[in-house]
Amino acid sequence: MIVFRYLARQVLQATAVVALILLGVAVISRFLQYLGEAASGQKAVDALLLIMLYRLPEFLLVILPLALLLGIVLSYGRMYGENEMVSLMGAGIGQSRLTRMTLGIAAVIMALMGVLSLGAAPWGMRHAEAIVQNQEELTELDLIVAGQFRGFSDGGRVTWTQRTSNSESGGRELRNVFVAVAAASGESGAAPTIVFAESARPVIDADTGARFMRMENVAQYDGAPGSAEFSVGHFDAQSILLPQPAEFEQTLEQSTIPTLALIGSDDPVHAGELQWRLSLIMLAPVLGVLAVSMSRVQPRQGRYIKLVPAAFLYLVYFALLEFCRDAVEGGGSPFAFWLVHAAFLALGTIAIRQGRTTAGGLARVRRR
């Protein structure tokens, strides 16, 4: 029991450190992507943090198994390098017992993966996608900040307003609005358009669902900079057609379905999603067995020598599971997932058995 507590402390500490590093990299990378979308007017800045928080369980589903694999390789690799493993083997703790202890440690991660995969991740994805959909339904007027230029339509239109307020109908209204519309590419003689308006508010056509920005008391200037040929128009009202919101992505829709709703469904897409969630849970014990065999290093090799092969093995493992999910969603057999798990479990078991002779020889040398 003392040895198990010692191994568990070493492995879980290393796993936590690796998971925090990988999570930080993943969060920063995705947050920068969201910041780019916010800068282009696709998302409101105040919603980015909520989206990231709701997607943390999804990130952890990918990160935790890899962190466990690398944590075991680092911990056991250090113990091999410092001859601690030789001492344990001399005390009667062989590869089989070490593997059982490692599976006990992996059971902690497996339980956490179960909570994340079956409950927390779908719940978080539902809330994150709800926020994203709400952001997609926002008009340009909802994303504009008073006193700041905001680009839309990939830079094709720039909008600025002096201040914002709530209209009598309860919607958002812009006051003292400036809009610059770039010339359409490919059209000969086309000139950019500058629009000044006293106010602007969002309008949705009841028949078509099209969204417009309706401006009132408008002055419009059309002409190329540096040219004296300008056309000037004044209008009581003018509308600009706004882009339609993006449709809900099918792959994200499946990942938001509660697990209980997937059980018993005849839809192959639902079957693939359910098997995918169960397969993510099984990553922990299988990777635990693989890590025991991969962590064995010679005293002068160093504990970091197996990190790259371990990470590559995880990528191959994860990619095969994703391939199985696509196959099952296309009507394939759900047993494909378990064949992949069985193959990697057999690989780890064979590697452990092959290492028993070497480990036993090292232990006998140590006892002498």
Predicted pLDDT of residue 347: 92
Which residue in 37, 241, 31 sits closest to 139, CA to CA? Answer: 241
How far is the C-alpha of 342 from the C-alpha of 364, rounded, in Å?
Answer: 33
Q: Are 284 and 109 in contact (CB under 8 A)?
A: yes
The single-letter code of the amino acid at 205 is: D
Query: How high is the pLDDT of residue 250?
Result: 46
**Residue type for 149, please?**
F
Residue 133, pLDDT > 80, answer no
> Does residue 81 surpass a pLDDT of 80?
no
User: What's the longest Cα–Cα distance across the chain?
Assistant: 100
Q: Is the pLDDT of residue 89 over 60?
A: yes
Nearest to 312 by CA among 285, 289, 286, 294: 294
Whole-angstrom distance between the N-terminal and C-terminal Cα of the chain? 27
Backbone phi and psi for residue 239, each to the nearest 5 degrees, phi listed first: -125, 145
Residue 254: the pLDDT is: 82
**Distance separating alpha carbons of residues 244 and 137, to the nearest angstrom:** 8
- Gap between the Cα atoms of 317 and 164, Å rounded: 52
Give pLDDT tens digits for 341-353.
Answer: 999 999 999 888 8
Confidence of residue 70 (pLDDT cuts 50, 70, 90): very high
Hey, which residues does 238 pair with through a beta bridge?
215
Q: For a pLDDT cut of 70, what percent of the chain falls above it?
A: 84
Q: What is the pLDDT of residues 141-164, one digit of tens each?
A: 777 778 878 777 766 788 888 888
Q: Where are the domains positioned within the chain?
A: 2-137+251-367, 140-241
Q: Among residues 203, 157, 191, 192, which one has the least CA distance to residue 177?
A: 157
- Average pLDDT of span 30-58: 80
pLDDT at 18 over 90: yes
Which residue is listed with tokens 């680009």? 151
Q: Which of 96-105, 187-196, 235-244, 317-326 has the lowest mean pLDDT?
A: 187-196
Supply the pLDDT for residue 365.
46
pLDDT surpasses 80 at 360: no
For the cut 80, the answer to whether the pLDDT of residue 273 exceeds it is yes
